[in-house]
Amino acid sequence: MQSVEEVDDTDEESDDDFADDDGSVAQGSSRRIQTVVLPATSERPSIIEQIFFVEPECHGYRLDRFLQKKIRRLSRARIQRIIHGDCDVEGRSARPNMRVYPGQRVSFRRPAPSEPEVPRNIGIIHTDPDFYVIEKPAGLPIHPTARYHYSTLTAVLRERFPGEPLQVAHRLDRETSGLMLVARSSEAGSKLKSAFQRRLVHKRYLAIVHGDLPIADGQELLIDQPLGPAQTTVRVRVAVVPVSEGGLPSQTVVRVLQRFPGHTLVECRPHTGRQHQIRVHLWHLGYPIVGDKLYPDEDLFIRWAEEGDEAIADQVALPRHALHAAGISFPHPRSGQSVTFSADLPSDLTRFLAGLI
């Protein structure tokens, strides 16, 4: 049985989380985590080796504390089981209480878990000497998690562009489809990271929601509600939380594109980059996204996490949530000129809409 905190429900709107660790394909960073697949065949691995490099701020940490910092989803007891398994520090057998120091290499190996089948096809929307704009299919996670190692975007990119020092510039939830930006060099990555941090990157999402939003055609609605941890059973869940209680300011602009029986196709433009921002804002408004298993029904999400897709198939209108990253604009990392890219609504969502008419 899978614990709910290990479910891959990655933040799709987090602009301040530039992916240079946690299994990314970034190279040359002193704060690097590297996942190495040792294959039994040309396709699927039998053993996974994960490598961590100790940063200066972890000087003198106990090994179990250091690994718990690097793999936050795991309990200390599970970390200690990993250490007592096939784990070493600079080639020496590891103990939970041994101290680690900057620059040391910590690695452990474990049998590769069985993974759910996911789509591994990515569309290349645009190729530039400094970046790729790709279209991620729904169902493909970005980075390795408790459930996915072989079937991740970073693994697909390593296969598709062998030897390139790629950096995935932002994240999308596993079930969210659409545009992603991938830097092709450390220089381009640094400039794109700065653009995200300075909020110079503008993203546009399409979502199908339950209900008929009371927004007049041609008008926009600003959802201005602070967000923070929901403090519920599912640790990744987010809710509207007052700033006085730790919530972070969050704004999403929404406008109606087309109305269907019992549903609305909307465009969403997040002005901030909070975890699950679009999903939570629409749910809080009373119009949850079609197919979303976490908002508003936490019990549904827990059942899905423990029993799988088939257990809830009759309770969701779509097998994934209907959220698509349809547009992205950002300053070119070399020229500074604004560039814009877009992607149409994918076929599974267009078929769903056609079935409503």
- Catalytic sites, residue numbers: 173
**Measured between alpha carbons, how far is 145 from 7 in angstroms, rounded to an integer?**
8
* CA 111 vs CA 44, 47, 48, 85, 114: distances in Å: 11, 5, 6, 11, 9
Amino acid of residue 21: D
Cβ-in-10-Å burial (0-12, 13-18, 19+) of 278 comes to buried
The contacts of residue 256 (CB under 8 Å, 6+ apart) are 213, 215, 217, 264, 265, 266
Cβ-in-10-Å burial (0-12, 13-18, 19+) of 174 comes to buried
Cβ-in-10-Å burial (0-12, 13-18, 19+) of 163 comes to exposed
Kind of pairing, strands 167-168 and 251-260?
unpaired
**Measured between alpha carbons, how far is 323 from 203 in angstroms, rounded to an integer?**
13
Strand partners, 36: 49
Q: Calculate the CA 237 to chain-centre distance.
A: 14
* CA 105 vs CA 68, 204, 318: distances in Å: 15, 41, 44
